[in-house]
Structure 1
């Protein structure tokens, strides 16, 4: 008699043990980095609103570099074009891992988070366009409310001391990874001007060499670091935003392990650079990007001008509508079953938390609005929207924290102290 088909695991159910280990390591670093990011953003806001604000602006706008190579940048631009390249390189390795060995490797497991993430980008952009059109504003900032900041969101969870189950954290991470891919595509396609085809061609040639080194298993940082810097510099001079070089190299790095390897090149690179990205690169970017003047008048501008208002509504309302409705409809369409230990209120709370759109939203805001005055309003809108989203998510998540604590304790209980939670051994016994 033919065996009965194996029942599909529930949506937001227990993660496979290797996947949970990988995600736990990534989230641990992101959480620590998120707390540093939060501190850097607060420092920037305080500094920019004190009598010493002129010193902040002078430091942010100080230029240095190598003019002969077209690399004479301000400190702020070194942070956004240089340091954030490390962030996007790590994001590229995470996306590659998800596509090759993670939750995105099969259409069945990828469908729900991808649909949720795409809806969580489209709806905020559409809402921004509707608000800006109604108010006669510029459409240039449509991409600002698309991005979710995973580090900032995890910092909020850490401050709240929530016991969010691994599946919910993994879903949030996958949303952010797909968001990062969408953001880099938007940056590459819509914020590229004055292309230098010679530099762009040389950058692509460098990426081909990078691929060949990976393909032929060439090891040694002395090959990759100079090549990576050259690719970054050529990409910057080509007119394409330099962070595209980072995500391209991250996607090229090999994720699978060869026989005898304890870690793949992508794993080794992520292990080395993830702490640098989360603890140094992103916080320094925040330090020089989040310093906006806050006053009653400036907040009034945020809530009355169509562009910043569109950003606030896009992040706070658009993210909720996009992610929650996208997830709900995808589950219903695919006939997936929500984990019986959770409720749709938990998905709604995650959708609210995803409205924290800090790092990439600030970057796109700078690219979309070159005028400093408008940029300040957009940055203030991102900060205000992120604060509102964090406060609302805190209320929703704390209300359910008793449920989360119970699930967290169940999935981490290890009575026999063998290093593997008992719930995985029970699941293995049932499958056997």
Structure 2
């Protein structure tokens, strides 16, 4: 019987070529979408501050059929409930793939990103709760600083020209996938009101039919798209946030290939839908959600009132400490050894980058304070402020190591070229 210690597992090692290729394809659309997202946020800020009446008028414009399902919604509501359902549909597919073929399929390998994501949700929520525990606090917004926006983060990487190694990008993507799952659970459990059981039951029956058709290998977008719209509309009517329908349908898709199939249905559909989600749905949502006042008074309130200050500190301090600290502790307890080509400072920089909580944080800010427009707007301004601070700090930290990242990136390219010969 050997008394030798258990060998330490590698952490953030170089990815296999097939996984690296999938990651590159997936992140390419998200990077372009992230740049569009940044542009949409800037346009929203300029529009809302230069012509606030016109901006609000567009948000309040009502379109859609007046029916028993109450789909005559404002453009703001269509962006929040409709376009983000597509975003969460892609998130559901990503999560399913991670569970079946990605980092999350191996419990030992999944431990680090899962623990990092959970701590990256719990610590910002705790920071917010501490700041808002006294008089004048608003505990209902505890979930606002818990989200990570992968598109915004990748857009920042593209703008600053960072050659972040694929292993760090994969960690960031897996972290964001688990983060999205936690976010949708938070929205479904804590921000759903007035549940209508008949609509919820019919929506669940629609999901069962969706799954049954898919399992029977029935093909045809003309069946699934109308069914998806009906499931979404019933979920919207039920009082459960409509984005839950999107993530549920994404999770139901098959991620394994049948004999003769070049790609699984989930991979094929994600390839079709991701550019629409990243390039249209999320930027349009940002256009309608990011238009907040940036006057000196409004910015002063962000750093002097409990709720917005809790959001800023949750994103800037809580996210960083939660993700980095959770990963470090998980690595210690699972005996994972960091890739010698990287340093813990690299993970710290990625943890700061993960403090960008734009899209889902803006959504939760609207849901948490739906009856207090002023507080919702201040918290949305705090989301913008916190995300910008994280983006700037992460950019500086990553640029300091960009020469090393470029060497790792070029080594990966050389390996890919050699494999292609």
TM range (shorter): over 0.9
List gaps (5 residues or longer) in structure 2.
Answer: none
How many aligned positions are there? 417
- Determine if contact 1:135/1:305 at 8 Å carries over to the other structure: no
| Residue 56 of structure 1: how far off its partner (Å) | 1.1
Residue pair 2:162, 2:399 contacting (<8 A) in 1 also:
yes
State the match for 2:188 in structure 1: 188
1:111–1:301 distance in 2 versus 1, CA, 3 Å: same
Separation in 1, partners of 2:162, 2:124: 27
Q: How far apart, CA to CA, are the structure 1 residues paired with 2:398 and 2:417?
A: 31
Secondary structure, in 3 states, of the residue corresponding to 1:301?
helix
Q: Does 1:56 align with 2:55?
A: yes
Match of 2:240 in 1: 240
8 Å CA contact 2:9, 2:335 repeated in 1: no
- Shift, 1:362, TM fit: 0.2
> How many Å apart are 1:136 and its aligned residue?
3.2
Whole-Å separation in 1 of the counterparts to 2:314 and 2:126? 8
Task: Report SS of the residue matched to 1:337.
Answer: strand
User: In 2, Cα distance between the equivalents of 1:65 and 1:150?
Assistant: 31
Instruction: Tell me the equivalent position of 1:419.
Output: 420
Corresponding residue for 1:374?
A: 375
User: For residues 223 and 6 of structure 1, what CA distance do their matches in structure 2 show?
Assistant: 53
CA deviation vs aligned residue, 1:367-419 (integer Å, no higher than 9, x gap): 00111111110110000000000010011000111111111111111596552
Q: How much has 1:7 moved relative to structure 2? A: 6.1
Write out aligned runs for 1:274-353 (5 A).
274-353=274-353
Alignment of 1:23-422 (within 5 A): 23-50=23-50, 52-68=51-67, 69-370=69-370, 371-414=372-415, 418-419=419-420
The CA distance in 1 between the partners of 2:418 and 2:134, in whole Å, is 61
Shift of 1:53: 2.2
Summarize deviations over 1:208-248 as a string: whole Å, max 9, x none.
Answer: 00110111111110110010000000000000000000000
Q: Is the 8 A contact 2:93 2:253 kept in 1?
A: yes
- SS at 2:356's partner residue? coil
SS of the equivalent of 1:66 reads coil
Separation (CA, whole Å) in 1 of partners of 2:253 and 2:170: 22
CA deviation vs aligned residue, 1:58-100 (integer Å, no higher than 9, x gap): 0011111112131111001100100010000000000000000
Do 1:352 and 1:393's aligned partners in 2 also have CA atoms closer than 8 Å? Answer: yes
SS at match of 2:179: helix
Q: Residues 129, 409 of structure 1: CA spacing in aligned structure 2 closer, same or farther, 3 A cutoff?
A: same
Q: CA RMSD in A?
A: 1.6
Greater Cα shift, 23-32 or 274-283:
23-32
